[in-house]
Amino acid sequence: MNLLLLILIPLATALAVLLCRNRQQVRWVSFAGAAVQLGLGLALLFLFRKETLAGNTAQMLFQQTYNWFPSWGISFHLGVDGIAVAMILLTAFVVIAGVLVSWKVEKMTKEFYFLLILLSLGAYGFFISLDLFILFFFLEIAVIPKYLLIGIWGSGKKEYAANKLALMLMGGSALVLVGMLGVYFSIQDRTFDLLRLSEMKIPAVTQMICFPLLFVGFGVFTALFPFHTWVPDGHSSAPTAGSMFLAGISMKLGGFGCLRVATLLMPDAAKEYAPYIIVLASIAILYGAFATMMQKDLKYINAYSSISHCGFVLLGIGMLTKVAITGAVMQMVSHGLMTALFFAVIGMIYERTHTRQVNEMGGLMKAMPFITTVLFIVGLCSLGLPGLSGFVAEMTVFMGSWQNPGMFYRIATIVACMSIVVTAVYILRAVGQTAMGPIKDEFKNLTDATWNEKLAAGILLAGILAIGLAPFWLNDLIAPGAEVITNKLTGK
Amino acid sequence: MDTDFFILMKQELLVTFIIFLLLFIKIGRGLKNETLLPLIQLLLLLNFIAGFFFNKEGSLFGTTYTTTALMAFQKNILSLGTYLISLLCAGWLRKSAHLPEFFMLMLSALLGMFFMISSGNLLMFFLSLELSTIPIAALANFDLDKKRSSEAAMKMILSSAFSSGILLFGISLVYGATGTISFAELPAVLNGTHLQVMAFIFLFAAFAFKLSIVPFHLYTADVYEGSPIAVTSFLSVVSKGAIAFVFIAALYKVFQPMHAIWYNMIVLLSVVTMITGNLFALRQQNIKRFLAFSSIAQVGFILVGISSNSIQGQSAVVFFILVYVFSNLAAFAVAELISSQTGKESINDYKGLYKTNPFLSWILALALFSLAGIPPTAGFFGKLFLITAGASKAAYWFIIVAALNMMVSLYYYLKVVRAMFMDKNENPVEKIKIDTTVKLALIICGAGIVLLGLLSWVYDYISKLV
């Protein structure tokens, strides 16, 4: 399959959006583009499975290389492994849902969809690039659309949140840049090519300096404690689709980068720094969970719980076993789908009740049964109910963590497990207060979900259920990619 | 004298020809601005295009004048900048009562820069530097009825006289210490004695003045603010570009034996320049002053590239300046349009600009993103290559400072973007009328900002020339 399509389709969609004459055209063009993306994502999944079942064990499939700034050793090198396929699929799901829930955006519709699609372009490019330079290029492409989406279409303290997010993410990418250049100059041939770099032995001194730079740099994107502070502000101020993209796709760029760049290239330093990662991840998991308990605003609840959930991703990576890393990637996919759906539902509720405060709602089940049912399902997924994706992912992380002998790892695992209880408390309380109890008079005439909202929720729910009920396909997809990394760690 | 003279010096001769043509038009019957301006624009376009043909390397008058393919390309960048300025500032120029004089002065300065790039010894360098500076001081005074404009011209002429004095002193010390002023002979006799180091420091200070490197930057903001924007953009883009080209050639070719000494100076000044430029830019309200300080910070980034002392560093600097021509000119052009039609120059006046002028807002935003180094604009590639070149010495702290400065600069560039796109305003700037020429030039700038980086052959072309 030609991976370039994953960049060209969003680009063509974005340009087509600019040419549209009215709102209706903009919506349908974006929807068509997103649908093609989803089709491409699914096609990629099937073709990838076909290749692997046919016995193709290459580390990266569908590779393509084009010349780009050859004098710096940069090449436009594309390729995917199972991890990337999973992330691309996640992106395609979130994009189409995001386009659907934004159907009612009235203010500067054309610009809104243009930026939304640009954001997805950055994510696709990031996941398929096998060259550090273009990886960085796509990582940064997404910063400005996020800034504008929050600043123009957001609510609350939007300017502050937009600024904070743009600056913190830029700071993160500055660290990534320095780490990347350190790696680039540490070896004799000047190349940014990830596969060639991963075959070479990067000197230990460079590893010890560059690993923390890269890990923390990418960590900022995925809410690594203590660099998580942009998450609550950014997510709660963003428009619905913006929050979905931020939490569903953008935060995953960080986790993917930690794995693909930091851990794969510098396994020795990864082993050295793993305990610190585990400590920070455990703090994020617990701190996020307890901070969520105190929140009254639905969006803040989901934002803080995202910090906690993304902590599992970092915990899995820090544990450095094959199962734990597989679990971390599963958690990225699962959290992406779940949190996007959560934000979508919050958006739907807010659009009708004009409040996000939990204590001002109540009994919404009677007025909008579809929306509240979805809210229940997504809440249960968040607290890790078996049969839904959250359980599968978190369970895999715990199993992988437990494989590590030693008191330290056991304690970290138990601490992380404890957060599930806290999660149950805040999720049940929030969902219960919103949906159950007597309904207020002013909410009685509210309407239920429209077709586009139902379709968006249905698509994301399908993803959650597909992972929850049949986790093996995702596991088969991710595990070989995780194995490559653990093989590097054990020096095979 | 054979045809070599005409072919080697063709860029200079062409500019001289245009200057004399304008002179004859002026003292003859004169032309109306409506016909003269398109004529000048056409001539400048021809001048730019002609720069790509019949290029030949060689020297004239001994080694006093030398030219190479790279130098021809650098001159082309400057011609391009001048051509774009003539398009972008068409609105202001058309109203000017002294249009031929304006271009005579500007082209004289350009001629000086051409000779400066090609100069083969210190004397020629000094003469051409003066030729490129004094007309600009006269240009700075071109808003004849504005007090600030005269003040800017005065500051410009005083500070450049001062730096010329320092330069001359440095040249005399170089001659005293080595017995030669020829660039070709200097590297062989430079050995780092104290007198030579002192001479070098004086030369360096003169360059620092012209490039407005901190602590020699103090005149910059006042001159930029007071001058007409056409002149400000010429100063900040074309003039600075020319000096940077010569500076890098002098350091890499002539003062290469002393590179251990200048490396430390460049690193230190680069850090100070980036930080000072950024910190001052944070607090500016006037858009011209804001762009002035941001251009100081940009020079700090150019120094990062220069510090690498490698071919890649040089090509990164040339590429960066090419990109800088497009991005900075676009930013200044938008400021000029708004300032000349409404008189508003404060960033606060830009609030709500997107509502009334979406096209201008997008162009300005693109230009600012390019200056900040955000992909996919060409500024991203320019900055990244500078930093990558600078990182080749593996000084981590230096690169971290540079990378974090990119973050700080993003903050203030976003401030303008936020004003245009997000902030509400009761009475925003009304709809600005844009001429077709100006619009065309803005579109050229916008296209340049987006495409120069993505099309990697532009950079490959430059790196083959170096």
**Are B403 and A174 within 8 A, CB to CB?**
yes
Instruction: Name the helix (H) or strand (E) containing B60.
Output: strand B58-60
Distance from CA of B391 to the nearest CA of A (A): 7
CA dihedral angle for residue B23, residue B26, residue B30, residue B31, rounded to 10 degrees = 70
CA B161 to CA B142: how far, in whole Å? 19
**Are B388 and A181 within 8 A, CB to CB?**
yes
**Are B421 and A70 within 8 A, CB to CB?**
no
What residue in B sits closest to A68 (Cα-Cα)?
B456
pLDDT confidence band for B149 (50 / 70 / 90)? confident
CA B17 to CA B72: how far, in whole Å? 18
Residue B299 in tokens: 């020079």
Q: Rounded to the nearest 10 degrees, what angle do helices B287-306 and B240-249 cross at?
A: 10
Residue B87 in tokens: 């398009």
Please tell me if residue B385 touches chain A, with a CB cutoff of 8 Å: yes
What was the ipTM of the complex prediction?
A: 0.90
CA A77 to CA A131: how far, in whole Å? 6
Please tell me if residue B454 touches chain A, with a CB cutoff of 8 Å: no
**Are B387 and A182 within 8 A, CB to CB?**
no
Distance from CA of A110 to the nearest CA of B (A): 13
pLDDT confidence band for B381 (50 / 70 / 90)? very high
Please tell me if residue B127 touches chain A, with a CB cutoff of 8 Å: no
Question: Average model confidence (pLDDT) for chain B?
Answer: 88
Residue B1 has pLDDT above 60, yes or no: no
**Are B406 and A144 within 8 A, CB to CB?**
no
Nearest by CB to residue B414, choosing from A140, A166, A178, is A166
Amino acid in position A96: I
CA A340 to CA A390: how far, in whole Å? 13
Residue B394 has pLDDT above 70, yes or no: no
Which one, of B351, B342, B363, B372, lies nearest residue B421 by Cα?
A: B351
Distance from CA of B368 to the nearest CA of A (A): 12
CA B34 to CA A87: how far, in whole Å? 59
> Measured between beta carbons, which residues in chain A are less than 8 angstroms from residue B384?
133, 136, 177
- Cβ atoms of residues A10 and A117 within 8 Å: yes
Which one, of B377, B404, B399, lies nearest residue B389 by Cα?
A: B399
CA B26 to CA B42: how far, in whole Å? 18
Model confidence pLDDT, tens digit, residues A389-426 = 888 898 899 998 888 888 888 998 988 888 888 998 89
φ/ψ (deg, to 5) at B126: -65, -45
Nearest by CB to residue A137, choosing from B375, B400, B460, is B375
Distance from CA of B366 to the nearest CA of A (A): 11
Please state the pTM of the whole predicted model: 0.92
Please tell me if residue B380 touches chain A, with a CB cutoff of 8 Å: yes
CA angle B394, B396, B398 (to 5 degrees): 105
Nearest by CB to residue A159, choosing from B400, B422, B463, is B422
CA A392 to CA A417: how far, in whole Å? 14
Q: How many contiguous H segments (helices) and E segments (strands) does chain A have? A: 22, 2
**Are A151 and B394 within 8 A, CB to CB?**
no
Which one, of A193, A225, A370, lies nearest residue A311 by Cα?
A: A225
Q: How many contiguous H segments (helices) and E segments (strands) does chain B have? A: 22, 2
For the segment A159-170, the average pLDDT, to the nearest whole number, is: 89
- Name which of A77, A160, A168, A177 to mutate to probe chain B: the one with the most chain B Cβ atoms within 10 A of its Cβ: A177
Query: Percentage of chain A with pLDDT > 70?
Result: 100
Please tell me if residue B310 touches chain A, with a CB cutoff of 8 Å: no
CA angle A270, A271, A274 (to 5 degrees): 75
For the segment A191-216, the average pLDDT, to the nearest whole number, is: 88
Model confidence pLDDT, tens digit, residues B317-368 = 999 999 999 999 999 999 888 888 888 888 888 888 888 888 999 999 999 9
- Cβ atoms of residues B379 and B336 within 8 Å: no
Q: Kindly state the DSSP code that residue A79 receives in the 8-state scheme.
A: E
Distance from CA of B454 to the nearest CA of A (A): 9
**Are B396 and A147 within 8 A, CB to CB?**
no
Cβ neighbours for A76, distance < 8 A, ≥ 6 positions apart: A64, A65, A66, A67, A68, A131, A134
Give Cα separations from B450 to B323, B377, B388, B447 (angstroms).
10, 5, 21, 5
What residue in B sits closest to A133 (Cα-Cα)?
B384
Kindly report whether the peptide bond that precedes residue B376 is cis, defined as omega within 30 degrees of 0: yes
Query: Percentage of chain B with pLDDT > 70?
Result: 99
- Name which of B384, B392, B421, B423 to mutate to probe chain A: the one with the most chain A Cβ atoms within 10 A of its Cβ: B384
- Name which of A66, A71, A185, A189 to mutate to probe chain B: the one with the most chain B Cβ atoms within 10 A of its Cβ: A71
**Are B312 and A71 within 8 A, CB to CB?**
yes
Model confidence pLDDT, tens digit, residues B264-322 = 889 999 999 999 999 998 888 888 889 989 999 999 999 999 998 888 889 999 999 99
What residue in B sits closest to A155 (Cα-Cα)?
B422
- Name which of A69, A117, A202 to mutate to probe chain B: the one with the most chain B Cβ atoms within 10 A of its Cβ: A69
CA B312 to CA B299: how far, in whole Å? 18
**Are B421 and A152 within 8 A, CB to CB?**
yes
Cβ contacts from A onto B, under 8 A: 86
**Are B456 and A162 within 8 A, CB to CB?**
no
**Are B456 and A159 within 8 A, CB to CB?**
no
Nearest by CB to residue B421, choosing from A148, A177, A178, is A148
Distance from CA of A351 to the nearest CA of B (A): 22
pLDDT confidence band for A492 (50 / 70 / 90)? low
Which one, of A394, A419, A410, lies nearest residue A332 by Cα?
A: A394
CA B96 to CA B90: how far, in whole Å? 10
Q: Which long-range contacts (CB under 8 A, 24 or more apart) does B403-408 make?
A: B403/A174, B403/A175, B403/A177, B403/A178, B404/A171, B404/A174, B405/B274, B405/B275, B405/B278, B405/B297, B405/B300, B405/B301, B406/A170, B406/A174, B406/B372, B406/B373, B407/A167, B407/A170, B407/A171, B407/A174, B408/B278, B408/B279, B408/B282
- Name which of B368, B374, B398, B465 to mutate to probe chain A: the one with the most chain A Cβ atoms within 10 A of its Cβ: B374
Nearest by CB to residue A178, choosing from B385, B403, B460, is B403
Helices marked H in B51-144: 69-88, 90-95, 99-118, 122-140
φ/ψ (deg, to 5) at A46: -70, -40
> Measured between beta carbons, which residues in chain B are less than 8 angstroms from residue A184?
388, 391
| Chain A residues whose C-beta sits inside 8 Å of any chain B C-beta | 67-72, 133, 136-138, 140-141, 143-144, 147-148, 151-152, 158-159, 162-163, 166-167, 170-171, 174-175, 177-178, 181-182, 184-185, 209
**Beta pairing class for B65-67 and B58-60:** antiparallel
Q: Could you give the count of Cα atoms lying within 13 Å of B421 in the half-sphere of its Cβ? A: 30
CA B274 to CA B406: how far, in whole Å? 9
Give Cα separations from B405 to A170, B274, B373, B411 (angstroms).
10, 7, 11, 10
Between B34 and A38, name the one with better pLDDT. Answer: A38
Query: Percentage of chain A with pLDDT > 90?
Result: 24
Residue A230 in tokens: 């942009």
Kindly report whether the peptide bond that precedes residue A226 is cis, defined as omega within 30 degrees of 0: yes
The radius of gyration of chain B from alpha carbons, rounded to an integer in Å, stands at 21
For the segment A285-303, the average pLDDT, to the nearest whole number, is: 89
What is the secondary structure of B261-330 as a DSSP string? Answer: HHHHHHHHHHHHHHHHHHHHHHT--BHHHHHHHHHHHHHHHHHHHHTT-SHHHHHHHHHHHHHHHHHHHH
Residue A432 has pLDDT above 90, yes or no: no
Distance from CA of B326 to the nearest CA of A (A): 20
What are residue B58's DSSP bridge partners? Answer: B67
Q: What is residue A298's predicted lDDT score, i.e. its pLDDT?
A: 87
Residue A362 in tokens: 């109540």
- Cβ atoms of residues A420 and A311 within 8 Å: no
Model confidence pLDDT, tens digit, residues A74-98 = 889 998 888 999 999 999 999 999 9
Cβ neighbours for B144, distance < 8 A, ≥ 6 positions apart: none
**Are B418 and A69 within 8 A, CB to CB?**
no
**Are B369 and A144 within 8 A, CB to CB?**
yes
Query: Percentage of chain B with pLDDT > 90?
Result: 33
pLDDT confidence band for A186 (50 / 70 / 90)? confident
Please tell me if residue B384 touches chain A, with a CB cutoff of 8 Å: yes
Which one, of B371, B382, B379, B70, lies nearest residue B248 by Cα?
A: B70
- Name which of B368, B377, B385, B418 to mutate to probe chain A: the one with the most chain A Cβ atoms within 10 A of its Cβ: B418
Q: What is residue A354's predicted lDDT score, i.e. its pLDDT?
A: 85
CA A452 to CA A458: how far, in whole Å? 10
For the segment A181-186, the average pLDDT, to the nearest whole number, is: 88
> Measured between beta carbons, which residues in chain B are less than 8 angstroms from residue A182?
391, 394, 396
**Are B400 and A152 within 8 A, CB to CB?**
no
- Name which of A153, A176, A178, A189 to mutate to probe chain B: the one with the most chain B Cβ atoms within 10 A of its Cβ: A178
Instruction: For A297-406, list the strands marked E by DSSP.
Output: none
What are residue A61's DSSP bridge partners? Answer: A80
What residue in A sits closest to B368 (Cα-Cα)?
A144
Please tell me if residue B455 touches chain A, with a CB cutoff of 8 Å: no
Cβ neighbours for A301, distance < 8 A, ≥ 6 positions apart: A292, A295, A358, A426, A430
For the segment B386-392, the average pLDDT, to the nearest whole number, is: 88
Residue B127 has pLDDT above 90, yes or no: yes
Residue B43 has pLDDT above 80, yes or no: yes
